[in-house]
């Protein structure tokens, strides 16, 4: 009888171990990172996602700087023709007039943007990412229809969206079983105080929590974000500040200013929302900067140094 009980206990232990292993594998699968790949002017990724926290690994395998932002559309009924025929043309016309320094004509063109665009909500994404790099960001998504887009400008001055760099993504009403790990550093960003940065990053892996205290449209009609950039001795930070404003003729346009490597970050989120991004830092000079006009004057430019020790 004792032998039988011992066998039963051993059998129970094996079953329990198997169940634990299956559960752990299921948990691991649930937490899989969502891969996004760009090889040209495209986003290669899933068309449907679960709501809640999602982590994205955005691999830029193209020859230009990109990012992605998740725009939650005000209606699930918005279709491709609404984007191609009604949303993109006013932006394209306005941009052409800005390049020609015809500000009044540009504002008139932007005035034709569909009214529904004012109700779009931003749920974050990655910061700018250089060719050959990967940006890792975690954002919290609500159920609904989204437009994933990159509106960096090509060498000819046209939006990447106009070259097809956008896609619809449906977020279903089924939540992920996932929440981000604790961050090493917190960055608070607001229109009043700019960046409030709590600590000095270290050599190696760093995870940043970005808290959007508020969100307001700046002079470029968009809000503020956080971009992590490494720079070398050839870099001119003033040229980067100018480039980060898309309303400037060469702003947010290929080629990027010399001496800067973009490593991701957290794109625009609504006020009160939070996002995370992580990066493996080598020794060198770094800065955090927002894609807003005169980011330095708004307190949205912070520099720091990573040392070998």
Confidence at residue 30, expressed as pLDDT on a 0 to 100 scale: 52
CA distance 308 to 73: 45
Query: Among residues 24, 46, 1, which one has the least CA distance to residue 168?
Result: 46
Summarised one tens digit per residue, pLDDT across range 99-112 is 899 999 999 999 99
DSSP of 59-96: EE-SSS-B--EEEEPS-TT--HHIIIIIIHHHHHHHHH
Summarised one tens digit per residue, pLDDT across range 140-182 is 999 999 999 999 999 999 999 999 999 999 999 999 999 999 9
Query: Among residues 227, 229, 288, which one has the least CA distance to residue 261?
Result: 229
Summarised one tens digit per residue, pLDDT across range 85-96 is 999 999 999 999
Cα 256 from chain centroid (whole Å): 18
- Whether residue 264 contacts residue 126, with contact meaning beta carbons closer than 8 Å, is answered with yes
pLDDT band at 3 (very low <50, low <70, confident <90, very high): very low
Confidence at residue 270, expressed as pLDDT on a 0 to 100 scale: 98
Is 192's pLDDT higher than 70? yes
CA distance 222 to 100: 21
Summarised one tens digit per residue, pLDDT across range 20-76 is 444 444 444 455 689 999 999 999 999 999 999 999 999 999 999 999 999 999 999
Summarised one tens digit per residue, pLDDT across range 281-301 is 999 999 999 999 999 999 999
CA pseudo-torsion sign 38, 163, 243, 108? negative
Q: Indicate the domain borders of the chain.
A: 36-73+122-306, 75-119
**Cα-based distances in Å from 248 to 157, 199, 253, 264, 294:** 11, 33, 9, 22, 11
* Mean model confidence pLDDT for the chain: 91
* pTM listed for this prediction: 0.89
Confidence at residue 199, expressed as pLDDT on a 0 to 100 scale: 81
Query: Among residues 131, 168, 132, which one has the least CA distance to residue 152?
Result: 131
Top pLDDT among 25 and 260 is at 260
* 219-223, 272-276, 287-291: the lowest-pLDDT one: 219-223
Tokens of 195: 């960046």
Confidence at residue 70, expressed as pLDDT on a 0 to 100 scale: 98
Strand partners, 106: none
């Amino acid at each position: 009888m004792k032998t039988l009980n011992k066998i039963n206990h051993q059998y129970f232990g094996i079953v329990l171990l198997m169940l634990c292993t299956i559960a752990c594998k299921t948990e691991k699968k649930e937490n899989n990172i969502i891969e996004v790949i760009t090889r040209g002017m495209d986003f290669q990724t899933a068309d449907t996602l679960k709501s809640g926290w999602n982590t994205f690994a955005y691999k830029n395998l193209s020859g230009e700087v990109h990012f992605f932002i998740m725009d939650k559309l005000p209606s699930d009924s918005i279709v491709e023709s609404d984007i191609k025929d009604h949303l993109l043309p006013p932006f394209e016309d306005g941009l052409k007039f800005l390049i020609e320094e015809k500000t009044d004509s540009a504002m008139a063109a932007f005035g034709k943007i569909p009214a529904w665009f004012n109700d779009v909500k931003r749920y974050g994404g990655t910061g700018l990412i250089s060719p050959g790099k990967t940006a890792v960001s975690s954002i919290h998504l609500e159920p609904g229809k989204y437009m994933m887009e990159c509106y960096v400008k090509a060498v000819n001055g046209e939006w990447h969206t106009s070259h097809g760099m956008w896609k619809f993504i449906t977020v279903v009403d089924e939540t992920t079983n996932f929440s981000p790990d604790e961050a090493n550093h917190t960055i608070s960003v607001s229109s009043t105080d700019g960046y409030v940065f709590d600590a000095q990053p270290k050599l190696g892996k760093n995870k940043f929590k970005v808290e959007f205290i508020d969100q307001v449209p700046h002079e470029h009609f968009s809000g503020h974000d956080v971009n992590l950039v490494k720079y070398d001795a050839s870099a001119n930070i003033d040229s980067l500040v100018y480039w980060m404003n898309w309303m400037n003729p060469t702003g947010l346009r290929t080629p990027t200013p010399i001496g800067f490597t973009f490593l991701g970050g957290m794109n625009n989120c609504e006020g009160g929302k939070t996002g995370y991004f992580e990066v493996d830092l080598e020794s060198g000079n770094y800065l955090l900067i927002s894609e807003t006009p005169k980011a330095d004057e708004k307190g949205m430019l912070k520099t720091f140094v990573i040392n070998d020790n």
